Structure formats: structure tokens, C-alpha cells
Amino acid sequence: MKYAFYPGCVSRGGCPELYPSAVKVADKLGIELDELKSVGCTGAGVLPQNITDPINARTFAKAEQLGLPIMTICSTCTGVMAQANYRLKDDPNYRAKINREYLADEGLEYKGTTEVKHLLWVLFEDYGIERLQSLIQRPLKGLKVSPFYGCYLRRPPEAITPTKELNRRKAYLDELIGILGAEMADISGKGKCCGFPILSANEENSLAMVAKHTGESKEKGADFMVTPCPLCHLNLDGNQSRAEAQTGKEIDLPILHLPQFVGLALGFNPNEMNLKRHIVSTTDVESKVSMMS
């Protein structure tokens, strides 16, 4: 099982704990990663489509040459690429235009066959839950966990949940929490936005969203929240103390990346999953986990 690995900027920039954790987990699972190094940023929903569609088409063409589907570890990368891929696959004339005007110079062509998948989708759709279950060494019993998807991993339907069967994607994280032995502390905003995209335009609203999601999770008794999106992590973890200051309420909720969460269940210790690198202290989670093994 092999993927063209697109780690994204944040997994090595703002969240440098993510990349090595994901690589270790993939290795343990026996998922082979061929990292795409000479490709560009997806645009992260910041840059306009007329610029990012050609850059993303180039990424898809590179993966197509390798004959591999793309795997990401970021909801935003997945969402932006899946939307671009939908446009390119859906409209052959548009694809031909992008090929002609932007990719032909390099002798590249995107034929429209590349698939883009988040690690979360890979686990359920390609890897198989039974196989994952057989590798669990430390069921995370007694931990209460809130899911937080990152809105790019939920919508729009034509890119994210194109068939009835794939509607299940909206529940993968919920299911995974149970599969890894933990208990779910469900929150109403798990599929909503974390506020990160408007941090520079309206910080107050952005931080209010952080406070709402993390506060609700804490009230439900969660030990931590898990997210497949490092941009959500930047806001929910990195800006949680500012959200606390804005609302005058202590929250103190650790936020784990998806691979860290899976990694703990696979038997990695918290240090190997770089939990120490978070802004909100993970000490309580670490001690609970160490008592399990």
C-alpha cells in the first residue's frame, strides 16, 4: 500500500510535531509514503482559484506520473485539492485549458485520474478497520475524546462526499474514537469552522469560535480533542490561551493531531508522538496514557 505523500506546509512549519508523528504511524501500519517534494502549496483557501487550480493540477499530474493516489495529513490541503480536482475531472475542457496553458511548458499533462485522500479516509477506505484493530497495542480505555474534523473535510459534497456511501466520511472520526478504545465526548460544532481562516480579518470572532468548541468539549468532560487538521490545531491549541483571555473562562483542553491519537493506540509513547510540543499542556493525557502501559 503506497501513496504519493503530500504533508503540507503546516506539518513542518507551525505544527512540526505532526510530520514525524505521521511518518512513524504510517511506517508502523505498513503504509509506504513517496513524498511529493517538488510541488507547490495548495493555496489553503487563501489564494484565488485561478492561481491555485493550475498549481494543484501540477501536483496531481506529478502523482499521476508515479501512478499513486495522494495522501495528506491536513483537512485544508485535502479540501482545497479535492475541490480543485473535482473541477478538473468534471470539466475536460477546463482541464485541457490548464494543461495547455500551464503544464505543457514542463511537458506535463494531468489526465484526471489522481485521487486525493486524507489519512483518515485512507484508514477506513483503503487500509481497513479490522487490520488497524489488529495492530492496537494500547486501547485508549478511560479516555474521553472530542472529534473535530475541520470544515474542509466535511464540505462541499461534490468534492468531499460525492456518493451516498462516502457520506460516511462525516462520521469517520467519531467511529475511530470508539475503535481505538476511547469514549466520545461529542460536541455540536465538530463539523464547523475552527475560526482560523478569519484570524487576520476578525480576531475576536475567530477566538470566540475557539472558545466555543474547546469550552463545550471541556464541559462534556473530554480529556482532549482530536483533529485531522493542523490549521484547526494552530487555532484551537495555539490560540486557546488568547480565547480564554477574551472570554475570561479557563479551558485548558489539549488538542491532539489525528496521527498522534492513532499512534498512542498503536503503542507509541507520548514522547515519540511529540506531545510535548503542544502549546496547551498535555501532561494529564501523558500520565493517563503511561498508566495504561
What's the min distance (Å) between Cβ of 9 and other proteins?
A: 4
Nearer to other proteins, 29 or 82 (CB): 82
C-alpha cell at 240: 486557546
C-alpha cell at 63: 502523482
Residue 16 CB neighbour total at 10 angstroms:
14
Judged by CB under 8 A, which stretch of 116-124, 136-144, 187-195, 253-261 contacts other proteins? Answer: 187-195
How many angstroms separate the Cα of 270 from the Cα of each of 122, 176, 256, 282, 292? 23, 19, 11, 9, 12
Q: How many residues bind other proteins (CB under 8 A)?
A: 54
Q: Is 151 in the site for other proteins (CB under 8 A)?
A: yes
Q: Is 286 in the site for other proteins (CB under 8 A)?
A: no
Residue 74 CB neighbour total at 10 angstroms:
33
Q: Is 279 in the site for other proteins (CB under 8 A)?
A: yes
Q: Find the binding residues for other proteins in span 56-95 (CB under 8 A).
A: 58
What distance in Å separates the CA atoms of residue 259 and residue 274, rounded to the nearest whole number?
A: 11
Options 20, 45, 69, 162; binder of other proteins; rule CB under 8 A? 45
Options 93, 164, 165, 201; binder of other proteins; rule CB under 8 A? 201
Residue 224 host element (H or E): strand 224-227
What distance in Å separates the CA atoms of residue 152 and residue 160, rounded to the nearest whole number?
A: 8
Q: Find the binding residues for other proteins in span 14-43 (CB under 8 A).
A: 14-17, 37-41, 43
For residue 255, count CB atoms less than 10 angstroms from its CB and return exposed for 0-12, middle for 13-18, buried for 19 or more. buried
What distance in Å separates the CA atoms of residue 255 and residue 214, rounded to the nearest whole number?
A: 9
Q: Is 239 in the site for other proteins (CB under 8 A)?
A: yes
Q: Find the binding residues for other proteins in span 205-224 (CB under 8 A).
A: 205, 208-209, 212
Residues in touch with other proteins (CB under 8 A):
9-10, 13-17, 37-41, 43-51, 54-55, 58, 101-102, 105-106, 151, 154-157, 192-193, 195, 197-198, 200-202, 204-205, 208-209, 212, 238-239, 241-242, 276-279
